[in-house]
């Protein structure tokens, strides 16, 4: 029997930017690990890139906390977050739950 893989990616995209952090494990990915990856990604952005996504990072982190409190989440693809007044195709932060029956657990 093949061991299950779990993958979560956080991305800053749009407006010519595409940076990401990927977590790939043989066990469910904890929300704290995904939040740490999100913070690493945030720290890697230039001030101008961050300004376009500052609210989006906050929203993504709050969402991960709610998912954790609810017991986790299965693969949903991409969940986009934007600053108020920004279209999703422009500057955004994506949380992708790619593989694993449940991720963003406690």
Q: Is residue 1 part of a domain?
A: no
Q: Is residue 52 part of a domain?
A: yes
* CB neighbour burial string for 79-92, b if at least 16 within 10 angstroms, e if fewer: bbbbbeebeeeebb
Q: What is the pTM of this model?
A: 0.92
Number of domains in the chain: 1
Average predicted confidence (pLDDT) for the chain: 94
Segment 78-97, tens digit of pLDDT: 999 999 987 767 899 999 99
Residue 10: domain span: 6-99
Q: Is residue 19 part of a domain?
A: yes
Q: Is residue 105 part of a domain?
A: no
Q: Is residue 29 part of a domain?
A: yes
Sign of the Cα torsion 20, 4, 97, 43 reads negative
**Residue 28 in contact with residue 72, Cβ under 8 Å?**
yes
Q: Is residue 10 part of a domain?
A: yes
DSSP for 84-98, please give it: TT--TTSSEEEEEEE
């Amino acid at each position: 029997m093949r061991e299950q893989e779990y993958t979560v990616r956080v991305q800053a995209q749009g407006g010519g930017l595409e940076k990401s952090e990927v977590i790939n494990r043989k066990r469910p990915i904890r929300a704290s690990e995904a939040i740490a990856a999100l913070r690493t990604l945030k720290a890697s952005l230039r001030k101008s890139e961050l300004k376009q996504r500052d609210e989006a990072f906050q929203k993504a982190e709050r969402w991960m906390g709610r998912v954790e409190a609810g017991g986790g989440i299965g693969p949903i693809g991409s969940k986009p977050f934007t600053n108020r007044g920004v279209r999703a195709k422009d500057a955004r932060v994506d949380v992708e739950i790619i593989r694993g029956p449940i991720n963003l657990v406690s």
